[in-house]
Amino acid sequence: MRLKVLGPIELSGRHGNRGVRGGKLAQVTGLLALRANQFVSIETIAEELWAGAPPRNEVMTIRTHIYHLRKVLESVQGGPPAQATLLTRPTGYLLSMPAELLDVDVFDLLAEEGRVLLDAGRCYEASDRLRAALGVWRGSALQGVPVGPVLSAHVARLAESHSRVRELRIEADLRAGRHRDMVPELRELVAADPLNEWLQARLMEVLDRSGRRGEALQTFQNAWRHLDEQLGIEPSDDLRQVQRRILAASAGRS
Poorest-confidence range of 82-86, 145-149, 224-228? Answer: 82-86
Asked if residue 114 is part of any domain, the answer here is no
Give me the number of domains the chain comprises: 2
Tell me the mean pLDDT in the region 155-175.
97
User: Across all residues in the chain, what is the average pLDDT?
Assistant: 93
Q: Is the pLDDT of residue 171 over 60?
A: yes
Range of the domain at 60: 2-99
Asked if residue 40 is part of any domain, the answer here is yes
Q: Which band of pLDDT confidence, cut at 50, 70 and 90, is reported for residue 252?
A: low
**pLDDT at position 15:** 74
Asked if residue 80 is part of any domain, the answer here is yes
Last residue of a domain, one of 42, 75, 99: 99
Question: pLDDT tens for residues 94-144?
Answer: 999 999 999 999 999 999 999 999 999 999 999 999 999 999 999 999 999
Asked if residue 140 is part of any domain, the answer here is no
48 within 8 A of 39, measured Cβ to Cβ:
no
Tell me the mean pLDDT in the region 52-75.
92
Asked if residue 26 is part of any domain, the answer here is yes
Question: pLDDT tens for residues 176-225?
Answer: 999 999 999 999 999 999 999 999 999 999 999 999 999 999 999 999 99
CATH of the domain at 250: 1.25.40.10
**pLDDT at position 253:** 63
pTM above 0.85, yes or no: yes
Q: Which residue has the higher pLDDT, 81 or 72?
A: 72
CATH of the domain at 16: 1.10.10.10
Asked if residue 247 is part of any domain, the answer here is yes
Asked if residue 119 is part of any domain, the answer here is no
**pLDDT at position 159:** 97
Q: Omega into 184 within 30° of 0, i.e. cis?
A: no
Last residue of a domain, one of 99, 123, 153: 99
Asked if residue 150 is part of any domain, the answer here is no
- DSSP per residue, the chain: -EEE-SSS-EEEETTEEEE--SHHHHHHHHHHHHTTTS-EEHHHHHHHHHTT---TTHHHHHHHHHHHHHHHHHHHH-SSSPSSEEEEETTEEEEE--GGGBHHHHHHHHHHHHHHHHHTT-HHHHHHHHHHHHHT-SSSTTTT----HHHHHHHHHHHHHHHHHHHHHHHHHHHTT-HHHHHHHHHHHHHH-TT-HHHHHHHHHHHHHTT-HHHHHHHHHHHHHHHHHHHS-PPPHHHHHHHHHHHHHHHHH-
Last residue of a domain, one of 42, 76, 99: 99
Question: pLDDT tens for residues 4-34?
Answer: 999 999 998 877 788 887 789 999 999 999 9
Q: Is the pLDDT of residue 175 over 90?
A: yes
